[in-house]
Amino acid sequence: MSLLELQGVSKAFGGLVAVAEVTLSVDAGQIFAMIGPNGAGKSTTFNLISGLIAPDGGRVFFDGVDVTPAPPAARAHLGIGRTFQVMQPFHDMTVLENVMVGELFGHAVPKSLAEARRDAEAICEFVGISHLMPRDVTGLGVADLKRLEIARALATHPRLLLLDEVMAGLRPTEAQQAVANIKRVRDGGVTVLLIDHVMSSVRDVADRVAVLNFGRKIAEGTFAEVARDPDVIEAYLGEEESVH
Amino acid sequence: MIPRRAVSAVLPAVLLAAAVAFPFWADRAQPYYLQIAINIAIFAVLALSWDLLARTGQLSLAHAAFYGLGAYASAMLTLRARVPVPVAILAGGVFAVALAAGLGVLTLRLRGIYFAIATLAFSETLRVITNQLRFTGAATGLVVPPLLGGARVAQYLVILAVLLLMVLVSWLVNRSRWHFAFTAIRANEEVAASMGVDVVRYKVLAFMISAFFAGVAGAYYGHVFLFISPIEVYSLAVSVGALVAPIFGGLYTTLGPVIGAIVLRAGEEVLRSTIGGGYLIIYGLILAAVILYMPRGLLGIWAAIVGRRRPS
């Protein structure tokens, strides 16, 4: 059964068409990857799914409900969680407090501060940043910030988790760890939709892959299928080395 | 190192005791000090109300608008409708809340400097309009009836109570889930919204609470100093004062804006009486130095002394 469904979703900024009639269906329990060259419209698609921008056309369904008019906070309550490509920790807060925001506000039923703290600690433990909990976010390294991004999104207890380039910029060992983490999240019952450029990681983690180019979906299938698709190879021409 | 628990428990208690005892002494010995203390308390309420809004990332230059509207609404209610002064002062706050709800919704999409400019323009518009309205005394201003028959000690205790209420609200906000919402919104609205924070709700709520206290402060001012005029209560100096004290004392905290207000106003008085003419230049230099070299204000220095990183 599909948890997320995009039906002919489009978005243009001025004259630039960022996303053109993208139709996409993500099944519950999948790890679904969206790949494509820079500027292909992947992050815009994420913004359309999480509700930060409204589409010019098309509809977004989550768990069978049309969420197209719903604001981002309402979508978070329904179970859509996300990370951001440019890491955006909340300054003037500790790592634990950052995660607590998700626990406090990410659910339809509010939690007390004590509950939120306890549950946020468990999330930090799960993601492997519990040693950083009392720290201020200023001065954290890239890998830790990416883990914090995931922890904050997980703290809203999403049913669908959108991961925007959480493996980019990581060292190979860190990327492997991230892959393992994403699989653990999925095994915990969360459907994952991710964007990434690190093809080896995408190959290792994704059940299904969609390829975007110039805002259009040009291919979809398993990693092996899309990797030998002529349109995909052409889209990545000059970037071939990254498809292996 | 001073134990921080002792500091955070004892310091407010000592301050409070001194603040309550003060007028009974000052009223006999130094009535002028009482007037200064009232001034400081008004300023502290205004500063803390500004800070509360700033915690959501909204840097307001509209506090003169709330202050001025509170002053005028309360004055008009007592003069034209014979409303008792204490009730009118509260009503002044309510008027400011209504204004803030409207302004808050209008400026929701504006951030940072754009928000500041919009609120400044709004404030100035109110001043210009009031300046022309014969109904409110135009540029001449209004003579306002006194609060509690002009009894200074009682008047002081009233503003002290308002300040304590403002302090309590601020303290509760900083210890509740609101603190998390405000801080997240201030850092990044889009991320906060994606994590389920109802950004609009919290921004407008902060706006309304902030405006209430600013409006009450302005209303109180009129009924204690017995005269208001547009150029005074809608002055940019009111808005700037409201933001300088928190920056000077320590942003996003309860104690910082209050201490900032006390030190700034008291310091201004000391400079005025010791240096005389030109004291504002020295005052400005000290202010600039503090803001440049102590970005976390007086509380930042205090925090460094007691070894605490983030004052509350």
Q: What is the C-alpha separation between A40 and A19, in angstroms, rounded?
A: 8
CB contact at 8 A, B176 and B168: no
A 10 A CB-CB count for B37 gives 22
Taking CA atoms, what residue in B is nearest to A104? B177
CB contact at 8 A, B197 and B181: yes
A113 touches chain B (CB under 8 A): yes
CB contact under 8 A, A92 and B186: yes
Between positions 135 and 164 of B, the ones with CB within 8 A of A are none
pLDDT at A244: 47
CB contact under 8 A, B188 and A156: no
CB contact under 8 A, B191 and A90: yes
CB contact under 8 A, B195 and A88: no
A97 touches chain B (CB under 8 A): yes
The band of A50, judged by pLDDT with boundaries at 50, 70 and 90, is very high
pLDDT at B83: 95
- To the nearest whole number, what is the mean pLDDT of chain B? 90
Taking CA atoms, what residue in A is nearest to B55? A92
**Element of type H or E holding A231:** helix A230-235
B131 touches chain A (CB under 8 A): no
The residue extents of the domains of chain A are 2-243
List the single best residue of B194, B296, B309 to mutate versus A (max A Cβ within 10 A): B194
Long-range contacts of B288-292 (CB under 8 A, 24+ apart): B290/B248, B291/B247, B291/B248
Tokens of B196: 């389920």
Contacts of A51 in chain B (CB under 8 A): 193-194
- To the nearest whole number, what is the mean pLDDT of chain A? 92
CB contact under 8 A, B194 and A50: yes
Q: Which of A84, A93, A85 is nearest to A120 (CA)?
A: A93
Quote the DSSP letter at residue A90. Answer: P
Please report the number of interchain residue pairs, chain A to chain B, with beta-carbon separation below 8 angstroms.
Answer: 86
- Which CATH superfamily is A2-243 part of? P-loop containing nucleotide triphosphate hydrolases (3.40.50.300)
Coil vs helix vs strand at A22: strand
The band of A243, judged by pLDDT with boundaries at 50, 70 and 90, is very low
B198 touches chain A (CB under 8 A): yes
The band of B129, judged by pLDDT with boundaries at 50, 70 and 90, is very high
Each residue of A175-207: pLDDT tens digit?
998 899 999 999 999 999 999 888 888 999 999
Q: What is the C-alpha separation between B291 and B268, in angstroms, rounded?
A: 16
Tokens of B99: 């204004």
Distance from CA of A76 to the nearest CA of B (A): 5
CB contact under 8 A, A153 and B195: yes
CB contact at 8 A, B123 and B243: no
A83: Cβ–Cβ under 8 A, 6 or more apart, which residues?
A: A146, A149, A150, A152, A153, A162, A163, A164, A166
Instruction: Map tokens 């009482």 to a residue.
Output: B34
What does pTM read for this prediction? Answer: 0.91
The band of B306, judged by pLDDT with boundaries at 50, 70 and 90, is confident
Nearest-by-Cβ selection for B184 from A72, A90, A116: A90
Distance from CA of A133 to the nearest CA of B (A): 15
Q: Mark B291-307 as b/e (b = at least 16 C-beta within 10 Å).
A: eeebebbbbbebbeeee
Quote the DSSP letter at residue B148. Answer: G
Taking CA atoms, what residue in A is nearest to B253? A92
- Which amino acid type is present at position B50? W
Contacts of A152 in chain B (CB under 8 A): 191, 195
The band of B138, judged by pLDDT with boundaries at 50, 70 and 90, is confident
The band of B134, judged by pLDDT with boundaries at 50, 70 and 90, is confident
E-state strands within B41-177: 142-143
- Phi, psi at residue B240, to the nearest 5°? -70, -40
A183: Cβ–Cβ under 8 A, 6 or more apart, which residues?
A: A31, A205
Please give the ipTM for the structure prediction.
0.92
Tokens of A188: 């915990």
CB contact under 8 A, B196 and A156: yes
Q: What is the C-alpha separation between B254 and B263, in angstroms, rounded?
A: 15
Q: What is the C-alpha separation between A8 and B128, in angstroms, rounded?
A: 52
List the single best residue of A83, A101, A157 to mutate versus B (max B Cβ within 10 A): A101
B312 touches chain A (CB under 8 A): no
CB contact at 8 A, A90 and B187: yes
B193 touches chain A (CB under 8 A): yes
B188 touches chain A (CB under 8 A): yes
Q: How far is CA B59 from CA A41, A79, B53, B114, B169, in A?
A: 34, 33, 7, 9, 19
Task: Tell me whether residue A2 is exposed, middle or buried, using C-beta atoms within 10 angstroms of its C-beta: 0 to 12, 13 to 18, 19 or more.
Answer: middle
| Segment A13-37 mean pLDDT | 95
B310 touches chain A (CB under 8 A): yes
Each residue of B231-262: pLDDT tens digit?
999 999 899 989 999 998 999 999 999 999 99
Least confident of A38-52, A142-156, A229-243, B283-297: A229-243
Q: Does the structure show a pLDDT above 70 at B311? A: no
Nearest-by-Cβ selection for B194 from A52, A104, A113: A52
Pairing of strands A216-221, A191-195: unpaired
Q: Which of A122, A205, A217 is nearest to A167 (CA)?
A: A205
Distance from CA of A101 to the nearest CA of B (A): 6
Taking CA atoms, what residue in B is nearest to A154? B195
Distance from CA of B215 to the nearest CA of A (A): 29
Nearest-by-Cβ selection for B196 from A52, A73, A93: A73
